[in-house]
């Protein structure tokens, strides 16, 4: 690396603060300059040849550290962003409609899953005592066995009118493709039950658009040096063709949130 031009103390402080926040106005004030007109003077200082050279060198150092520590390259970032945008999320979790208990029961009587389910329900009915039994008839098995919630509703079912019953389906994490794993971020337990936490598609689309030059590359305020380094890695190779680097949804990859 060629020798960098010397900076005075406040210029050096400005470079350090700018590499952390990428906010020229904020960096200008924190470096010790007068706050008045900082919104103009800060961006103007970025045009100083020496300051610009030190900022460029600092960015390269941060990028090199991130790449070395996490073995992360431009193609990795673009692939993961592309997965977060294009993966079919309905394969991971969604609202489904299945058959009700009467859809496929014999003559549309209540259908049991297995003989064991029926016998357990009979036993439970008996344990509730005579007072309960006098007002609640015992379970009957006229509908037979073999009920499957995942079966399609029977359009001729007189009980549900072919509408079935709704349920929430969750994909097994162990069977997710590597592309799907870039979207899956974990599980949240709420009052209403379990929820899958999925990567924000809008944010991924925005980041991918910035890389491709499809949106304004405005400086992000308050972003930390690590997250900004990931964006720098992507922007540094923005002239490379994207078509050869975006794989199909089932290609192997891990998740990275730029």
The DSSP annotation for 108-135 comes to G---BS-HHHHHHHHHHHHHT-HHHHHH
End-to-end CA distance of the chain: 28
In whole angstroms, give the CA distance from residue 180 to residue 120. Answer: 39
Confirm if 41 and 216 have CB atoms less than 8 A apart: no
Cα–chain center distance at 92? 11
pLDDT at position 71 is 67
| pTM for this predicted structure | 0.48
Q: pLDDT digit of tens for each residue in the chain (258 aa)? A: 568 999 999 999 999 999 988 899 999 999 999 999 999 999 999 999 999 999 999 988 887 777 777 666 666 777 777 788 888 888 888 889 999 999 999 999 999 999 999 999 999 999 988 888 888 889 999 999 999 999 999 999 999 999 999 998 898 888 888 888 888 888 888 887 888 888 887 777 777 666 555 444 444 443 456 556 666 665 665 443 333 333 334 444 443 333
Q: Quick count: other Cβ atoms within 10 Å of Cβ 121?
A: 14
80 contacts: CB under 8 Å, gap ≥ 6: 182, 253, 254, 255, 256
238 contacts: CB under 8 Å, gap ≥ 6: 211, 212, 213
Task: Look up residue 26 and give its two tokens.
Answer: 């904020």
pLDDT at position 82 is 79
Cα–chain center distance at 152? 30
Domain boundaries in the chain? 95-170
Positions of E strands within the chain = 93-98, 165-170, 184-190, 193-198
């Amino acid at each position: 690396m060629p020798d960098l031009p010397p900076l005075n103390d406040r210029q050096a402080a400005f470079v350090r603060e700018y590499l952390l926040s990428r906010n020229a106005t904020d960096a200008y004030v924190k470096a010790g300059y007068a706050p008045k007109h900082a919104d103009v003077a800060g961006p103007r200082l970025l045009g100083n040849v020496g300051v610009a050279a030190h900022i460029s060198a600092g960015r390269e150092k941060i990028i090199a550290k991130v790449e070395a520590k996490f073995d992360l390259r431009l193609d990795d970032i673009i692939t993961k962003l592309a997965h977060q945008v294009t993966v079919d999320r309905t394969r991971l979790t969604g609202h489904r409609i299945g058959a009700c208990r009467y859809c496929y029961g014999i003559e549309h009587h209540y259908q049991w899953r297995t003989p064991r389910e029926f016998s357990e329900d009979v036993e439970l009915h008996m344990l509730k005592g005579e007072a309960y039994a006098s007002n609640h008839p015992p379970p009957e098995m006229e509908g037979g066995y073999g009920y499957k919630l995942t079966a399609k509703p029977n359009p001729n079912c007189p009980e549900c009118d072919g509408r079935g019953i709704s349920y929430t389906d969750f994909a097994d994490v162990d069977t997710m493709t590597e592309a799907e794993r870039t979207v899956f971020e974990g599980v949240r337990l709420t009052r209403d039950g379990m929820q899958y936490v999925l990567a924000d598609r809008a944010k991924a689309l925005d980041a991918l658009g910035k890389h491709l030059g499809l949106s304004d590359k405005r400086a992000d305020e308050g972003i930390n040096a690590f997250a900004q380094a990931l964006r720098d890695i992507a922007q540094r190779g923005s002239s490379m063709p994207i078509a050869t680097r975006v794989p199909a949804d089932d290609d192997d990859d891990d998740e990275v949130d730029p």
